Structures are given as structure tokens and as C-alpha cells.
Chains A and B, each alone.
Chain A
Amino acid sequence: MNLTGTLFVAALGLCLAAAPAAVLTPRRARPLLAGAATTAAGLAGAAAGVTALSGQGWSARLDGVLPLAGVRLDLDPLGAMFVAVTGAVAVCAAVYGVAYARHGLDGRVAQATPPLFVASMLLVPAAASVSTLLVAWELMALTSLLLVLAEHRRRAAVGEAALWYAVMTHLGFAAILAGLAGFAALAGGETFEQLRAAGLPPGARDAVFLATLAGFASKAGIVPLHVWLARAHPEAPSQVSALMSAAMVNMGVYGILRVGLDLLHGGPAWWWLLVLGAGALSALFGILQAAVASDLKRLLGHSTTENMGLVLIGVGAAGFLASGGDSMLAALALAAALLHVVNHSAFKTLLFLAAGSVLHATGTRDLDALGGLRARMPCTTALFAVGALAASALPPGNGFVSEWLLLQSLIHALPTSGVAGAVTMPLAVGVIALSAGLAIATFVKAFGVGFLARPRTPGAERASESPPAMIGGMALAAASCVILALAPATVLPGLSRLAASLVPGSGHPPGPVPVSGEVTLRLTGYEGTISPLLIAVALAIAVIGLLGAVRLFASRRARRAARLWDCGAGPMSPRMEYTATSFAEPLQRVFDDVLEPESDLDVTPTKESAYLVESVRFRARIPDRIERRLYDPVLAAAGALGRAATGLANGSVHRYLAYGFYALTAVLVALAVIW
């Protein structure tokens, strides 16, 4: 076993050992033990991913583990990247979780499940056969479902969210199962090698791709299969939200890449235009919902849908360009998508962990009730600011670099990709731009309303800084954001190589990497450079220079503290501050037709006169329009069917015996006719 193998097995072993250990140890030591083991496992997993990505692959075959098929593992570069990301996210979440567990999450199940969840997410990208993948996938679904349910005794919404999640994830699983089982049956074998070698008829290829796309897209929270995400991610404990939103959703992207690009070797252009379209829709819809959301964790959940959408725009563009034969640009788009996966994982981990800190310090996730945390939780505020900067894709944040690469790949695609490209690419650029703009609005709102100004409720007033372990977890995530932002070259070469080798038709050995350069990133074959580090340095020099100039030339008068300008009246109560809802109101108005907000107004007049008002109640809600149009009718129909079926079961034993008799007869008759 080589280094990669040793590390990977160590990671899995630590996870699998941590679970029973957490069950057996006393409550007080449990979080520390589970956290330490998961941290170590995450580190080992990340290291295994990095070594595998840098060329030292590893594969194993354990025939005895699963009946009939056995387990096959293979850490190739594609899987390794996702293993590395999962490991890194697990480290941050586990460090954070040690302190977070104090808030009623130190039960046996709540502590034993996270290591298993991490193990399953390490296994999914390492699986090299259909059965292994499906088992790991189901393990991932079950462990995450358990974790979503962790706080079900405290809030009623948890149960509903978990139900949605359970149903959606299993429908997704069924789609993947159908697609991959069919694929394996047609290929005559279930290992990925056999699948790669199989030549499927076009119709079957389409069916396999569409079925697996639906399943994987639902895991990635892609519209219209996103409805579970914005429910389940906020209701889970925050370090689990981080794991789900920063690591688990990536598995959807992994699946699409694995099946579409690796096993099926790319496909017709329409597959990828479909992917691109779904990505564009998700990006816009996700960020629009986030822009008008006032629940901090829900906002972050919607933003995950947006970012996965951006990733799929890149993946779709890559597949589309590769189908047109432009493998260099395809590799660029893919590298951008992969970098965005990494970036998103880094900042989403940070943001969810910070949101968890806020939730525990104040007892609420409602932005309208927060505020004033800058003075009360300085570290959390500063760390959230780093994450928000990254998520709004502004320099010098890491999100900017990947979006820049994505835009470059789309822009350069225009002249060569025919009319389909000429229609798609500008619209995709428009979508990315609008989602970037709305992301800025969203995160200005999240940071500005949630953390700045004055506290809006007593809960926010009483907030205090989180314990060191929680800050440590967030700081790790923030550090990776900063590194990715200033020196993307630490990960880009590996990702570019991976992208270049993954693009179908790139040949062996794959072509040159699409992006290169240490400080200044340079596109290969196209003119385009950017230097995130130098932008940050220039900005820092300018700001420091200005500070010096102000000190030197400006007022010698001391800075004075004064009361806020309240037009001479006052004092201004916190209720006069702008809230998240009021902040988003202009956007809500502009996108009124898309969002279809609902509001109702109840005016109760006094008894004496109809013109005197006793009380006014105003309620506004922005429902998920897709859910309303797509899911509600189905749910209503299922409910109606259920109610109709109750008429069949009226409790009479005779009737049930009769059903049994008729059913048996029908089967026998049918068999008699067929045979």
C-alpha cells in the first residue's frame, strides 16, 4: 500500500473507530474524542486526496466486505479532488464541533454519526464500482438524515425538513440506482473500468445520463430538485450544515462529472446544454431566493443552490465545448468549475460555522432580530466578513478567481462554438453577472444587517463571543479562503491537470493545462491574465497610503464620538433600523413577477366604530414558487389518492380476505394467460 492508500485507510479507520468509541465513552469526554478522531480523519483524508491528485493514485479490491460484489476503491485524480475537499471541510467542522456539542448535541447518536457521515463522503468519490458507490451513497444519505434530525425535539420544523430531505434524497437515489444499474446491465459488468469500456447504444446512453443527472442534481440542490436543500441545511446543527452544504452537495457534481465525462466519455451537445441550463436556472433562482431571505441559514442554503448552479454552468460549458471539439476551452471551463467547487466549499464552511456561532450566541437565525454583533462577537464578525467577501465574488476574495475563470471560458467560446454557443454563452454570462450582483446584495444584507449597527432584540444584545474551538474551526476555514484567494496557484495546477485529463477527446497524454502561472494567472492559448495577489497588494498599499495621507495632511483635531444624527429628535430605537426584509424590499419589488410574494393584511376595527382600528396585522411571505407550482399539486394528488384509498380499508376482516383472494386469482389468471 502506498502513501495515498495508507492515509486514506487511516482516515476511514479513524472514522469507523470514532463511531463506536463515541457511543462507549461518557458524555463529558465524548465530543472531544469524536472531534479529535474526525479531525485526524479529515486531515488524513485531505492528505490522501492531495497525494492522489498529485499523481500517486491508489486502488484496492476487498471482495469479502460486501456480499456478491465486493468493494472496489480507486483514488484517481477526479475522486481525489473531492476526497481532499471533504477531508478539509471535515477538519474545520470537527474542530468547531468539539465546542458546539455543548449545546445539547453531545448525545450518543449526535456524536457517533458525524464520523460515519464523513467516512461515507470519503468513500463516495473513491468508489470504483456501481455497488460500492450506491452503498456509500445510501450510507451518506442515511447518516446525514440522522444528523438533520438531531434537534428534532427542539423545533417542529426539523421533522418536516427531514421528511422532505428523506423523500427527495431517496427519489434521487432511485434515479441513480436505475441509471447505474441499467448501465451496468448493458455494459455486462459493474466496475467503472468495465463501464468505461462499454459501448452503449445512443438511446441507452441518453437514458443513463438523464437518470443519473436527475439523481445527482437533486443531491447538488439544482433547481427544480432543490426544495429539500433550503429546508434541511438550515435545520441541521451548524457544523452538519457545513458538512452538507460544503461537502455533500459536491458529491452531486462529482457524480455528474464521473458518469457524464468519465464513464460515458462526454456526449452530445444537448446533454451539456441541459446541464448548463439547469445550472443557470439554479444560479438565478437560488440567489434570488437568498436575496430576499431573512433567515441567515436559509439564505446560506439558497446560496449553495446558486453556487452549485455556477459550477454546473462551468461543467455544462465544458461538456458543450468538448462536444464541439474545443478541448482547451473545455478544460478551462472545467478547471473554473472545479476551482469554484473548492472555493465554495471553503467559504460555505466558514459561513455556516459562523452562522452557527451567531445562532448559539443569540438564539435566533432571523436577520431581522440580529444586529450589533460587531462589538459583541468581534472574531465571528471578522471571519464572517471574510466568508461574505468570498461569497459575493469580489476581489480580493476567492470566489472572484473562479468566477473570473468561468467568465473567461464563456467569453472565448463565442467565436468558435456556432449559433448554439452564440445564443448560450452571452445568456450564461448575463446569468453569472446577475447572480454575482445579487450575491453582492445578499451578502451585504447578511453581513450589514446581521452583524453591524445596533442589536435589534434582547437576544442579540446579550450575545457573547463563541468559545475558542468554534473560532478555531472558523479560522481554519477562513485561512483556506484567504490562501485560495491570494494564491490560487496552490490548487490550480492540480485542478487544471485534472480538468485537462477529464475533458473527453483530450487524448493521452492530455493537452497543456488551461491555466498556469504562480502570481499572475495566465490562460493557455488565449490572452487573459489576472493576478489576485497583486490586486490585493495594490489595494492594501492604496488604503494604507491613504490612511497615511489623511494622518499627515488632514485635521489635527481629535476624533469625537457623538450621538447618531437623529434629526434632533430621538433617541432612535432599534426598531427604526433597516431590517433584512426592508433591505431586500426593492429587489423583491423588481423581481415581483418571478418571486410572487404573498402578503395579507388583517385590520380589526374597534367595537364602537368601523373607522377606528383596534389592531393591524401584516404578514408577508415569499414562498418558493417552483415548489408551489411543481410539488404542491403532486403532494395534493398523493394526499387525495390516500384519502380515496381509505375507503377501501374500512376495517372489515372479510373485505381484506376478499382482497387477498381476488388478488391471488388475478395473478394466477395473468400467469395462465402469459405462459
Chain B
Amino acid sequence: MIGLWRKIRKTGRVAEPAPERADGEVVPRAAELGGSVQIRHVDAGSCNGCEVEIASAFGPVYDAERYGARLVASPRHADALLVTGPVTRNMEVALRRSHEAVPEPRLVVALGDCARDCGAFAGAYGVVGAVKDVVPVDVEVPGCPPPPEAIVEALRGLTGR
């Protein structure tokens, strides 16, 4: 316990200072949320590369939570779906239902190239299409995988902070 305390003292703050927001604009539909965005992550068929980056975006260094974004356990609690990967056939219905389960106003963030336009998996036999072919998408984050900075930037576009 003392050891842990020393470690806490020695480590101090690891969160990087918040970068200035380039454009400062907010997704119009997210304005109503007023600085608080709960996110439900849906893996629609991702290779887990984006998941690793999401984990670091919410880790201590990038600390996406400081901008009012938070991952939650149930889509009922969520304001936004964070969808990764091309939508596979097995996940199509699940994604629709997850979207259906989110109370209005609801937003969808398509994270990564696969989610935007199927990326490397375009035309594969098990893939239905991009996220926007299944549910309406509000924000797209490019990259394969997108770096945590880009994820945080997109989330800040939702929270407006």
C-alpha cells in the first residue's frame, strides 16, 4: 500500500495537456448533449486494432474522459455508438438493434477505415458493407487504425469541450 502510494507520488500526472481544438466546431446534433457523451462501443467485425487505440484514448495519457466522454455498459445509457470494423453479416442485425436500443438523440461514430468504407475488407464475402450502409453515421474517423489523438478529437467534436 505504501509502495503504491509512493508510485502514485512519483508518477504524478501522466495525462498530456489538452491540445487546442483546431476548428472548435461541434457536430450539430450533439449540441443538445451539453458536454456529456456516453458511448457504447460496438465491434461490428473489427480486427481489434481500433479497439487497442480506443483503449489508449480512454487511458490515462490521452484521457478522453476529461472532455466528458465515457464508455458505458448498456446502449440504453448511451448517446453515441462507436462502431469499429466493416459490418459483417453476423453483426448486421446486432448493430441495427444496438442502434435501435439507444434513446434519442443518438449518434453514430464510424471509427477507422473499415467502418468508413470497408477498408481492406471491401467486397469480402462475409461483409455487408460500411457502417453507413446499416445505420446513419454522424461522424467518421479515418485511419487504419486511427491514432488516439484522432479518436479524442472526434469525441471532442461531440462533447464540445
Contacts and interface: CB of A to CB of B under 8 A. Distances in A.
Direct contact of A and B (CB under 8 A): yes
Interface of A: 557, 560, 562-563, 565-570
B21 to A, nearest CB: 29
Contacts of B98: 568
13 contacts: A560-B104, A562-B101, A563-B97, A563-B100, A563-B101, A565-B74, A565-B76, A566-B97, A567-B94, A568-B42, A568-B93, A568-B97, A569-B94
Contacts of A570: 97
Given A560-B104, A565-B75, A568-B93, 11 more contacts: A560-B103, A562-B100, A562-B101, A563-B97, A563-B101, A565-B76, A565-B101, A568-B91, A568-B94, A568-B95, A568-B97
Contacts of B95: 568
A570 B100 CA distance: 14
A566 to B, nearest CB: 7
A567 B91 CA distance: 11
Interface in B58-104: 74-76, 91, 93-95, 97-98, 100-101, 103-104
Nearest to A568: B94
Contacts of B74: 565
Contacts of A565: 74-76, 101
Contacts of A569: 94
**Is chain A's binding surface mostly helix, strand, loop or mixed?**
loop
A568 B91 CA distance: 8
Contacts of A566: 97
A567 B76 CA distance: 11
Chain B CB count within 10 A is highest, among A560, A568, A570, for: A568
Interface residues of B, number: 14
A568 B95 CA distance: 7
A569 B93 CA distance: 8
Nearest to B101: A565
A562 B106 CA distance: 15
A555 to B, nearest CB: 9
Nearest to B74: A565
Nearest to B91: A568
B40 to A, nearest CB: 10
A356 B46 CA distance: 54
A396 B91 CA distance: 48
A308 B76 CA distance: 45
Contacts of B101: 562-563, 565
Contacts of B100: 562-563
Nearest to B103: A560
A333 B13 CA distance: 60
Contacts of B42: 568
Nearest to B42: A568
B30 to A, nearest CB: 16
Contacts of B93: 568
A567 B93 CA distance: 11
B104 to A, nearest CB: 6
Contact of A557 (B75, B76, B97, B104): B104
Contacts of A562: 100-101
Contacts of B75: 565
Contacts of A568: 42, 91, 93-95, 97-98
In this complex, the member of B76, B98, B101, B104 whose beta carbon has the largest number of chain A beta carbons within 10 angstroms is B101
Nearest to A567: B94
A562 to B, nearest CB: 6
Interface in B26-72: 42
A557 B98 CA distance: 20
CB-CB nearest 5 A-B residue pairs? A568-B94, A568-B97, A565-B101, A568-B98, A565-B76
A567 to B, nearest CB: 7
A226 B75 CA distance: 50
A569 B104 CA distance: 21
B63 to A, nearest CB: 28
Contacts of B103: 560
A563 B97 CA distance: 9
Contacts of B76: 565
A527 to B, nearest CB: 43
B105 to A, nearest CB: 9
A570 B93 CA distance: 10
A557 to B, nearest CB: 6
Contacts of A563: 97, 100-101
Nearest to B94: A568
A566 B93 CA distance: 12
A491 to B, nearest CB: 46
A567 B98 CA distance: 7
A557 B76 CA distance: 15
Contacts of A560: 103-104
A566 B98 CA distance: 9
Nearest to B95: A568
Nearest to A570: B97
Contacts of A557: 104
A560 B106 CA distance: 14
B134 to A, nearest CB: 12
A570 B101 CA distance: 13
B74 to A, nearest CB: 6
B75 to A, nearest CB: 6
B45 to A, nearest CB: 13
A120 B98 CA distance: 64
Nearest to A569: B94
A603 B97 CA distance: 38
A464 to B, nearest CB: 32
Nearest to B76: A565
A549 to B, nearest CB: 19
B13 to A, nearest CB: 37
A404 B80 CA distance: 48
Nearest to B98: A568
Nearest to B97: A568
B41 to A, nearest CB: 13
A570 B94 CA distance: 9
A408 B75 CA distance: 47
A562 B91 CA distance: 19
Tell me which of A565, A569, A570 has the highest count of chain B C-beta atoms within 10 A of its own C-beta: A565
Contacts of B104: 557, 560
A269 to B, nearest CB: 50
Contacts of B97: 563, 566, 568, 570
A570 B91 CA distance: 12
A522 B98 CA distance: 56
Nearest to B105: A557
Nearest to B75: A565
A563 B91 CA distance: 17
A331 B42 CA distance: 65
B82 to A, nearest CB: 15
A556 to B, nearest CB: 11
A462 B17 CA distance: 63
A234 to B, nearest CB: 39
Interface centre among B42, B91, B95, B103 (most CB of A within 10 A): B103
